[in-house]
Structure 1
């Protein structure tokens, strides 16, 4: 899976692995820098990554770009389980990163839900999972990182060095300031199994009250699913050393359905980390992959987010879903969104979702941003304030056409009204003024002037809203 050979041994292991791995990293870096600095003819076109896969869910314009290939940067450079960190290259996928850390009794402090997300992508975007109620978002777990700037410079960023502005400004920059070429991430200890308790609630009030209580308790993982206004399940996970049984949701059985069928469940830690990937939460149902016959025809190797993403992109290019809906006299809008709303306004937002959007189920995940004097400039959650992430991903159908982005605009306005913020990995329709208010663009302008003064990369609004 692209990682260097690993062996046990704490700090001594890090020393053995570190030097050869870092020398190989420097050699890879020299090749990329030669490519970046050598192609003078391509400087007029904006710089972009050459990627085989992507976890962005917004259409992009097919304008000219100068593509940089960072596909070799998939290695672990060092790990120190006792000190609680792992040092990696930017395009390593979390699937490989988890496989590299678990044998040492640790995992990255926050592991995003999909196996193909990269460490650098999660740092430049926004990564979340069920440890986020205590650990924050992926960027809250960064100790330091190196950024490859568009002019070929490499800057080392930490919370207290001369590039701390970029350390706190890089998250949510989406490849418009540079690329994280190396990252040092916090790890947390693990045990072999996770015991999951599924706590069912008949009202949103009871659900969010229990979510708040569990976040103050001794849980290791907290997330939940809203199935309707009268049914929500809070899942609370704890590491354990032994399990009376373990469930396998990697093939014939479906994890999200188990929330309604089981009060208690046990999974290996590896399988718990990837419990949502097999069925892309529940979105595999749109491909018929939750039908037992279709499931067996696809086989275990195709039941994963990697396969579904390919199918989704093919559907987007061909317009199959839109075409079939039009044959039925219906009009569609894709609403694929993750938003973060303060916990004390979460009930209001859920009421809005049920009333105006109607997509179900809805994933919920509590977040506690890192405490401290510094906020992340482009994703400015209030330090110490509990938020709830709502993830909802489907197509809304209507019997009459609406303006482009109608339902997504409703979501954006409601999130802003409630003091929340929306991730930018998917379609956005903000006006320039709304975007400036929400995403710290005054700080962004200063970062752009310092780290990309020649404008070799697209701007954040141009990339994420105008889809340049």
Structure 2
């Protein structure tokens, strides 16, 4: 046996062992290491806040970033690398690994909440504040972000330059709709205040979905909503006489703009005949009867939220959930991704003994990702959030199940606005025929598909490049968009068909980005040849 053959054989055995014993590896290595790692990060940030950031102002910290960019500008153009932040890839929630070693890296260590404007309901924060930190700060004061992602480690800045959507989005739209101001350092080291009404409005509309390819974000101002301590959650089983699409269209207000929609709306589809729609409204618990129906769903010994709903409320019901717990209800099981990592994770004994260790830190999972494990993340798993017109929901679900044979599926309705200004960034203006009558928005939805495809579990033939490219083709045909945190299989021509790059390219030219920052497609495309690896994976199954 040659040395190369031996290494390939050893690699295959290692991958096979990892797959067959993944739960044990995660339990005895990843979870404890995630806990230690998380404590280390928290201590580092605390020390930084206590002794460094608190001894300086936000203005001082931003000026340091400006000076570093200006130093880069002072070097000969032939010696310059493209700019990016120095934040390690493994600290982001993206599944890809952009090669930052080829860039000039600028530290952007900004972690502070700067101000709370209770009169105008605005939070001013630096970009590395996490969703969990924002929740802990705001909820006790009676406020919440208008769009609160369920994953606590997501950062406010990462969502601003990426995308965010949640169960309140049928009332307010995507995360980008809740941003009223960006503070951005440009490629020249200038500091800009960017709003939709000032001279930088073109940049304002292109910063969402730009993934750090137009400038460095140093702060942002976000809309807040007034809240109550609890939500009253009502679980509605899918009615067989009416499609899920029709029910979600009605409940989201997509059919009648005057329909009294709930504060929060989502659906989890467990199989073709079984789904639960969840509607929630802000509530006070002011009677003993209500108090008896309180359920803190995020307690570490409790069942994972989606499993709990499936077993207890598949036939309907209601309860009261503390608001912060509701907002982060999917955090512990990362929706249902942890089930594929730890198949026994929802067992009552595991929860009792080890539930407090969940969830595994996404950052640590990325930090420990080898090339073999990286290949497995797109060849044998699917992580996709896709924005598509809500009226196509039934065909969306059918296509996802056909290609991935995967349940559960996640559905969040969401407004996509026509701001009536011509090109409005990377998302195209919704077609007029899709606008909700009497409004300037159309109702879309997030379709979440996460975990191991059914073909892999059943040991059937599965071609990941075919499945993903077919899903992307379907998405383009219905006028939808793939979230760019996940691996894309599109070539650049197909990418430009999905997204509107007209204003983005003009903005890059106006703000001198072409020689300073990576282009969007280059920034978000997988760092490995997913097509080639997927095809090789498919061949091995034949």
Alignment TM class, shorter chain as reference: 0.7 to 0.9
Is the contact made by 1:132 and 1:367 (CA closer than 8 Å) also made in structure 2? yes
**Residues 321 and 294 (structure 1 numbering): CA distance in 2 closer, same or farther, change over 3 Å?**
farther
Q: 2:395 aligns with which of 329, 335, 348?
A: 348
Query: 2:223 & 2:376 partners in 1: Cα distance?
Result: 43
Distance 1:463 1:417 in 2: 24
Match of 1:179 in 2: 216
Q: What is the match of residue 204 of structure 2?
A: 167
Alpha-carbon separation, structure 2, partners of 1:203 and 1:22: 62
Q: State which structure, 1 or 2, has the greater radius of gyration over its C-alpha atoms.
A: 2
CA–CA separation in structure 2 for the residues paired with 1:101 and 1:424: 28
- Is the contact made by 2:379 and 2:464 (CA closer than 8 Å) also made in structure 1? no
- The aligned residue for residue 386 of structure 1 is 443
- Measured at CA, do residues 21 and 378 of structure 1 come closer, stay the same or move farther in structure 2, by a change above 3 Å? farther
Question: Counterpart of 1:275?
Answer: 329
Query: What is residue 248 of structure 2 aligned with on the other side?
Result: 211
> Structure 1 320/444 Cα, relative in aligned 2: closer, same or farther at 3 Å?
closer
Give the 5 Å matches for 1:274-353: 274-288=328-342, 289-300=345-356, 302-304=357-359, 307-311=361-365, 314-315=368-369, 317-319=371-373, 322=376, 332-353=379-400
Distance 2:363 2:237 in 1: 31
**Contact 1:246–1:265 (CA<8 Å) still a contact in 2?**
yes
> 1:252 aligned to 2:288?
no
1:6 aligns with none
Q: Distance in 2 between matches of 1:316 and 1:365?
A: 33
Give the Cα–Cα distance (whole angstroms) in 2 for the partners of residues 322 and 189 of structure 1: 43
Aligned partner of 2:60 in structure 1 is 27
Inter-partner Cα distance in structure 2 for 1:90 and 1:48: 15
Contact 1:339/1:391 (CA < 8 Å) preserved in 2?
Answer: yes
Conserved 8 A contact 1:436-1:442: no
1:90 shift after superposition: 1.4
Helix, strand or coil at the partner of 1:336? strand
d(CA) in 2 for partners of 1:134, 1:86: 19
Is 1:66 matched up with 2:66?
no
| Paired positions, count | 442
1:366 positional shift: 0.1
Cα pair distance change 1:22/1:219, threshold 3 Å: farther
> What runs of 5+ residues in structure 1 fail to find an aligned partner?
4-19, 324-330
Q: 1:384 to 1:336 in 2, by over 3 A?
A: same
User: Given the superposition, is the C-alpha separation of residues 357 and 404 from structure 1 closer, same or farther in structure 2, using an over 3 Å criterion?
Assistant: closer
Q: What are the within-5 Å matches in structure 2 for residues 194-205 of structure 1?
A: 194-201=231-238, 203=240, 205=242
| Aligned residue in 2 for 1:377 | 425
* Match in the other structure for 1:367: 414
**Displacement of 1:361 after TM fit?**
0.6
**TM superposition shift of 1:105:** 1.0
Which is further off, 279-288 or 458-467? 458-467
Q: Deviations over 1:120-165 (max 9, x none)?
A: 1111111011000001011001111111223322211111111000
Higher helix share: 2
Tell me by how many angstroms 1:212 deviates: 1.9
1:50 corresponds to which of 66, 86, 108: 86
Is 1:419 equivalent to 2:479 in the alignment? yes
Measure how far apart 1:56 and its partner are.
Answer: 0.6
What is the CA-CA distance between 1:369 and the residue it aligns to?
Answer: 2.3
Equivalent pair of 1:219/1:237 in contact (CA under 8 Å): yes
Listed one character per residue, the Cα deviations across residues 23-69 of structure 1 (whole Å, up to 9, x for unaligned) are: 71101112222233335669622222222511111243465222222
Q: Distance in 1 between matches of 2:54 and 2:246?
A: 48
Tell me the CA shift for residue 385 of structure 1. 0.6
Please report the RMSD computed on the Cα atoms of aligned residues, expressed in angstroms: 2.7
For 2:9, the equivalent position in structure 1 comes to: none
* Secondary structure, counterpart of 1:368 in structure 2: strand
Matched position secondary structure for 2:243: helix
* Aligned-partner Cα distance in 2 for 1:454–1:36: 15
Q: Name the CA distance, whole Å, in 2 between partners of 1:159 and 1:277.
A: 33
Report the Cα distance in structure 2 between the residues aligned to 1:22 and 1:384, rounded to whole angstroms. Answer: 45
Is 22-31 or 74-83 further displaced after alignment?
A: 22-31
Q: C-alpha separation between the residues in 1 aligned to 2:107 and 2:326?
A: 32
CA distance in 1, matches of 2:84, 2:172: 31
- Aligned counterpart for 1:78 among listed residues 90, 98, 115: 115
In the alignment, is the contact (CA less than 8 A) between 2:169 and 2:415 conserved in 1?
A: yes
Rounded to whole Å, the distance in 1 between the matches of 2:118 and 2:509 is 38
Displacement of 1:414 in angstroms is: 0.6
Segment drifting more, 226-235 vs 207-216: 207-216
* 3-state SS of paired residue (2:380): strand
Q: 1:258 to 1:416 in 2, by over 3 A?
A: same
Q: TM-score, normalised on structure 2? A: 0.76
Query: C-alpha separation between the residues in 2 aligned to 1:318 and 1:116?
Result: 25
Asked if 1 retains the 8 angstrom alpha-carbon contact of 2:183 and 2:192, the reply is yes
Which stretch of the first structure deviates more once superposed, 333-342 or 272-281? 333-342
Q: Deviations over 1:69-128 (max 9, x none)?
A: 212x11122112232111111111111112222232111100112111111111111101
Matched, 1:130 2:167: yes
- Quick one: distance in 2 between partners of 1:110 and 1:182? 17
- Contact 1:339/1:390 (8 A) holds in 2: yes
Alpha-carbon separation, structure 2, partners of 1:149 and 1:199: 49
